[in-house]
């Protein structure tokens, strides 16, 4: 393969376009570009952390509910998590991880209640981290900073951050 040049087939009679050559892992691969195509704009998106509630304590677990994690809306607002948004829950007490969705609990109650089958993966008092993610273009990703809320032993807000920058302590 060393020193080999791409083989040419001449111009396509319909379009007049020439084939182009790509070299991948020292093997020659020929791609025939005789067919015409329209230019499309594909948007590349990156999945980044959008919001996080760190070190929350589970206050309840309800097997008889249909699913989800009920969270006090005050915390949802602080962490930029919407109702019915998909969340990743990481249980620091027992190592379990689960995906579910967030729902409103009672405002001002400090509630974090695992519902349905997810209730098998945690117990009252377990320390959990709740994360949600969003899709951003590479340009948006450069300046993006997630909203992070760090909670204390009784689910009181200790620190609010925008990325690494502390916005409320």
Question: Which domains are assigned to the chain?
Answer: 46-168 (2.40.40.20)
In the set 30, 36, 65, 68, the catalytic residue is 68
Active site annotation includes 68: yes
Active site annotation includes 30: no
For residue 7, give Cα distances in angstroms to 1, 75, 106, 117, 164: 12, 63, 70, 61, 54
Task: Return the residue matching tokens 């689910």.
Answer: 155
In the set 65, 101, 109, 136, the catalytic residue is 101
Task: Return the pLDDT at 168.
Answer: 84
Q: What is the pLDDT along the chain (169 residues), one digit of tens a residue?
A: 455 444 444 544 555 554 444 434 344 444 444 444 455 567 789 999 999 999 999 999 999 988 799 999 999 999 999 999 999 999 999 999 999 999 999 999 999 999 999 999 999 999 999 999 999 999 999 999 999 999 999 999 999 999 999 998 7
Task: Return the pLDDT at 30.
Answer: 43
């Amino acid at each position: 393969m060393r020193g080999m040049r791409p083989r040419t087939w001449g111009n396509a009679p319909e379009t007049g376009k020439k084939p182009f050559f790509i070299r991948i892992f020292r093997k020659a691969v020929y791609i025939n570009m005789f067919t015409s195509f329209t230019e499309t704009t594909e948007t590349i998106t990156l999945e980044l952390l959008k919001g996080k509630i760190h070190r929350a304590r589970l206050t309840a677990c309800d097997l008889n509910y249909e699913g989800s994690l009920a969270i006090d809306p005050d915390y949802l607002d602080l962490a930029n998590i919407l109702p019915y948004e998909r969340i990743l829950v990481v249980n620091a007490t027992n190592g379990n991880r689960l995906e579910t969705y967030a729902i409103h609990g009672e405002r001002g109650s400090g509630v974090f209640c695992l519902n349905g089958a997810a209730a098998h993966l945690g117990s009252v008092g377990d320390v959990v981290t709740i994360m949600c993610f969003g899709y951003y273009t590479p340009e948006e990703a450069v300046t993006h900073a997630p909203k992070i809320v760090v909670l204390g032993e009784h689910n009181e807000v200790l620190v609010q951050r925008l990325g690494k920058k502390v916005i409320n302590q």
